[in-house]
């Protein structure tokens, strides 16, 4: 077994001296505060990481507990507490249960009261009654949804966490320092879990790192057994006296999580076809069928108004599709996820409209242009109403003979008119006056209303993502060939080359590839700017990752930099393992694409062609029905 370095010995000695000082000299207030300071650091770290919606949920649940203080049954309380512990929110089972009753009750009371006062009908009171009843279950299960989301994000990092622990323990057989090392180099949320493992040890909740780690691993027993098996193999390596057997057990730990993750991803890909088909039916087919049927319902069924359909079509249906999609994603096993480049602060400027004038670059936020586009289309949509307000009764009529005439102000109609531009008609009840606009021109101009939303939103999101997507496409090309490039880099390190020279060697071997350009950037930074390997890759201004911002590349380079500190052979083995991991995950991605190709191509064709075509037909039919009903009203008035 290799000797522990002097620095690590001093770190361990300092820690246990602090603990002895607390036990032997309790009067020493400064020493006693060490645990409190660490607790504060952990709490501060947690506060910075947790999303804002979690803090809002905490406030609401704690307030509901003060008002209602309802308690769930003991079995459910235990399940809720387990989920609360997983997602690190400061609530109690009683607060969760109280909120799940109080908030729906408030929605029902306020919604029903407001609906009866404003509309007087029974549709919206029944809607709020139904909505409140439906919300009881999701609100009561909110900690479970948060915990599932947490586990999904954490599971993406589990393979990487085993990489870090194994990389550290290859050189230094100390589990506590290895967990601390992984916690420092992982990103949230798994880093938060690992910090809590160390925190529980330092605050003496558990007497040893093994017990603290085992307590944490128990929370994953139902969800990720391969992670637990790998960690147990890592713990077992501490008991091996033979160095070769110890390293072999660490390699086995890495092999177990790689193989099991690969198999779970394959099973998930197989099981994804059925829920994706359901999502297709609910999110694409059903709205298309609704487009055909619902306008006819408004025209011919008594008591059905546009806002009834808007509630069904724009609130209930999208909410159902959203929750179904979240449920499908929550069952995804560990792997590596795609990086969200929009959150990269270095790429923020590419989300704006960039105009180059001389040597300067002007940035315009796309939201301002989107508002102007929306305003222009809204003006177009409301033009018939504006014209009616400014000049009531004025219109343009297309006659049976084919002539076009101007209908003077105040006249509204013409006996020989076939179509009207604005189209106001006298109501069946004369006291209601003239109603409209029902004209062909008003119908066509009303398309400006959805265009105002569609074009402005489309422009905003297209502008924000267009430049960033180009960078993402480059990073995807890099990821596609990165496994073989890493393998070559690992082999060069295994030949005894230092990392600085290994990058240059591999860049010269694959010069015309994206990976070669990336390694060339690293090599150039080292040679021209005199940077270290770590600076050449991670420097915020000129580092190679600035041009290729992807989690997969970043984590691979972190493993390289940290393992290289333990020697080139350790780094070589780590990179070869990372290469295998990337290759297997890509194989799963390709298999998933094959299994879902039919459903996805069907969805694309329906969204890209069928939906616009049917929408056009429905608008035509609706316009025709409205015109026919208007004509019938006029003829009936003449008969009477």
Model confidence band, residue 47 (pLDDT cutoffs 50, 70, 90): low
Q: What is the DSSP string of 482-499?
A: HHHHHHHHHHHHHTT--H
Residue 279 within a domain: no
Residue closest to 261 by CA, chosen among 210, 324, 334, 326 = 334
For residue 156, pLDDT beyond 90: no
DSSP assignment of 499-528: HHHHHHHHHHHSTTSHHHHHHHHHHHHHHH
Q: Which residues pair with 406 in a beta bridge?
A: 396
HSE of 634, CA atoms in CB hemisphere, 13 A: 19
Same domain, 487 and 618: yes
Please tell me the predicted confidence (pLDDT) of residue 93.
92
pLDDT at 35: 37
- Band of pLDDT at residue 229, cut at 50, 70 and 90: very high
pLDDT digits (tens, 9 = 90+) for 107-141: 999 999 998 888 877 888 998 998 899 889 888 88
Q: What is the pLDDT of residue 271?
A: 77
Residues 423, 491, single domain; the answer is no
Number of structural domains the chain divides into: 2
What are the backbone dihedrals phi and psi of residue 588, each rounded to the nearest 5 degrees, phi first? -65, -40
| Alpha carbon distance 525, 425 (integer Å) | 76
Bridge partners of 434? 426
pLDDT in tens, 566-594: 788 888 888 888 887 778 777 777 777 78
Beta bridge partners of 407: 395
Q: Dihedral of CA 104/110/116/121: which sign? A: negative
**Among candidates 323, 379, 367, 309, which has minimal Cα distance to 139?**
323
Name which residue leads in pLDDT, 45 or 494: 494
* pLDDT for position 69: 85
**How far is residue 44 from each of residues 31, 51, 204, measured CA to CA in Å?**
21, 13, 20
Same domain, 412 and 501: no
Closest CA to 616 of 281, 311, 288, 308: 288
Give the mean model confidence (pLDDT) for residues 203-225.
89
In a domain, 164, yes or no: no
Asked if pLDDT for residue 49 goes beyond 60, the answer is no
Query: 325-351: per-residue pLDDT in tens?
Result: 877 776 665 555 455 555 555 667 777
Q: How far is Cα 427 from Cα 388, in angstroms, rounded to an integer?
A: 16
Strands (E), 145-242: none
pLDDT confidence tier of residue 506, bands split at 50, 70 and 90: very high
| Residues 488 and 413 grouped into a single domain | no
Residues 404 and 500 both lie in one domain:
no
| CA gap 595, 634 in Å, rounded | 58
In a domain, 312, yes or no: no
Residues of the domain holding 563: 472-640
Please check whether residues 445 and 544 belong to one and the same domain: no
Local structure of 404: helix, strand or coil: strand
Question: Quick check: is 594 in a domain?
Answer: yes
Whether 160 is in a domain gets the answer: no
Distance from C-alpha of 236 to C-alpha of 216, rounded to nearest angstrom:
17
Give the pLDDT confidence score for residue 249 in this predicted structure: 94
Q: For residues 271 and 269, what is the distance between their CA atoms, to the nearest angstrom?
A: 6
* More confident of the two residues 170 and 381: 381
Please give the residue that has the higher pLDDT: either 608 or 533. Answer: 533
Determine how many CB atoms are found less than 10 A away from the CB of residue 200. Answer: 18
The pLDDT score that the predictor gives to residue 377 is 96
Helix (H, G, I), strand (E, B) or coil at 335: coil
Q: Looking at 172-242, list the stretches that DSSP marks H as alpha helix, in order from N- to C-terminal side.
A: 175-185, 190-202, 209-218, 225-237
Q: What is the pLDDT of residues 80-106, one digit of tens each?
A: 998 888 887 889 999 999 999 999 999
DSSP 392: T
Which residue did the predictor score with more confidence, 211 or 428? 211
Choose the final residue of a domain: 404, 420, 450: 450
Q: For the chain, what percent of residues have pLDDT higher than 90?
A: 19
Residues 364 and 427 in one domain: yes
- The token duo for 171 is 């050189």
Do 427 and 501 belong together in one domain? no
Do the domain assignments include residue 556?
A: yes
Mean pLDDT of the chain: 81
> Could you tell me if 574 and 637 lie in one domain?
yes
**One domain, residues 441 and 542:** no
The reply to whether 501 falls in a domain is: yes
372 and 501 together in one domain: no
Please tell me whether residues 431 and 501 are part of one structural domain: no
Instruction: With respect to residue 399, please indicate whether it lies within any of the assigned structural domains.
Output: yes
Cα–Cα dist 442/374, whole Å: 18
Q: Are 64 and 29 in contact (CB under 8 A)?
A: no
Which segment of 38-42, 189-193, 309-313, 531-535 scores lowest on mean pLDDT?
38-42
Tell whether omega for the bond before 437 is within 30 degrees of 0, i.e. cis.
yes
Cβ pair 226, 260 in contact under 8 A: yes
Question: Measuring CA to CA, which residue among 490, 478, 477 is closest to residue 575?
Answer: 490
In the DSSP assignment, the letter for residue 156 is T
């Amino acid at each position: 077994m290799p000797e522990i370095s002097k620095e690590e010995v001093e770190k361990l000695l300092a820690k246990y001296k602090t603990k002895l000082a607390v036990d032997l000299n309790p009067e020493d207030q400064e020493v006693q505060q060490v645990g409190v300071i660490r607790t504060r650091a952990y709490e501060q770290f947690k506060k910075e990481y947790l999303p804002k919606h979690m803090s809002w949920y905490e406030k609401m649940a704690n307030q509901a507990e003060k008002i209602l203080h309802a308690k769930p049954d003991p079995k459910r309380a235990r399940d809720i507490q387990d989920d609360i512990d997983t997602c690190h929110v400061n609530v109690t089972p009683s607060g969760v249960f109280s909120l799940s009753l109080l908030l729906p009750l408030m929605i029902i009371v306020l919604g029903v009261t407001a609906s009866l006062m404003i509309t007087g009908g029974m549709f919206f009171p029944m809607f709020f009654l139904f909505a409140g009843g439906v919300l009881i279950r999701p609100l009561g299960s909110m900690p479970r949804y948060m915990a599932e989301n947490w586990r999904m994000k954490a599971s993406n990092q589990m393979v990487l966490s085993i990489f870090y622990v194994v990389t550290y323990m290859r050189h230094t057989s100390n589990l506590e320092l290895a967990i601390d090392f992984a916690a420092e180099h992982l990103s949230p949320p798994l880093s938060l879990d690992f910090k809590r493992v160390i925190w529980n040890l330092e605050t003496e909740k558990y007497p040893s790192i093994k017990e603290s780690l085992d307590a944490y691993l128990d929370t994953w027993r139902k969800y990720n057994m391969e992670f637990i098996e790998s960690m147990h193999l890592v713990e077992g390596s501490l008991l091996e006296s033979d160095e070769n057997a110890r390293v072999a057990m660490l390699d086995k730990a890495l092999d177990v999580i790689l193989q099991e993750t690969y198999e779970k991803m394959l099973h998930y890909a197989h099981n994804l076809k059925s829920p994706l088909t359901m999502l297709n039916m609910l999110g694409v087919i059903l709205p298309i069928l609704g487009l055909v049927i619902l306008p006819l319902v408004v025209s011919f069924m008594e008591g059905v108004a546009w806002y009834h359909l808007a509630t069904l079509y724009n609130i209930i249906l999208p909410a159902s599709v959203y929750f179904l999609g979240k449920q499908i994603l929550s069952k995804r096993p560990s792997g590596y996820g795609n990086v969200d480049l929009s959150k990269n602060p270095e790429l923020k400027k590419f989300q704006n409209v960039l105009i180059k004038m001389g040597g300067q670059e002007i940035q315009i936020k796309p939201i301002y242009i989107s508002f102007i586009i929306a305003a222009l289309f809204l003006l177009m949509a409301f033009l018939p109403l504006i014209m009616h307000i400014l000049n009531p009764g004025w219109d343009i009529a297309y006659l049976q003979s084919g002539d076009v005439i101007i209908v003077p102000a105040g006249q509204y109609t013409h006996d020989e008119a076939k179509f009207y531009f604005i189209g106001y008609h006298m109501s069946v009840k004369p006291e209601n006056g003239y109603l409209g606009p029902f004209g062909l021109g008003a119908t066509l101009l009303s398309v400006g209303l959805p265009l105002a939303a569609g074009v402005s939103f489309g422009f905003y999101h297209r502008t924000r993502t267009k430049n960033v997507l180009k960078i993402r496409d480059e990073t995807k090309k890099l990821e596609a060939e990165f496994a073989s490039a890493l393998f070559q880099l690992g082999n060069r390190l295994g030949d005894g080359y230092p990392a600085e020279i290994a990058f240059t060697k591999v860049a010269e071997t694959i010069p015309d590839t994206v990976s070669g350009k990336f390694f060339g950037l690293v090599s150039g930074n080292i040679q021209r700017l005199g940077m270290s390997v770590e600076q050449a890759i991670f420097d915020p201004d000129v580092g190679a990752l600035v041009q290729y911002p992807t989690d997969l590349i970043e984590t691979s380079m972190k493993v390289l930099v940290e393992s290289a500190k333990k020697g080139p052979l350790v780094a070589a083995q780590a990179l070869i393992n990372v290469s295998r991991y990337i290759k297997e995950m890509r194989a799963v991605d390709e298999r998933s694409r094959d299994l879902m190709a039919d459903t996805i191509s069907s969805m694309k064709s329906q969204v890209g062609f069928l939906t616009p075509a049917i929408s056009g037909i429905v608008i035509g039919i609706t316009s025709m029905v409205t015109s026919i009903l208007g004509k019938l009203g006029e003829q009936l008035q003449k008969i009477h």
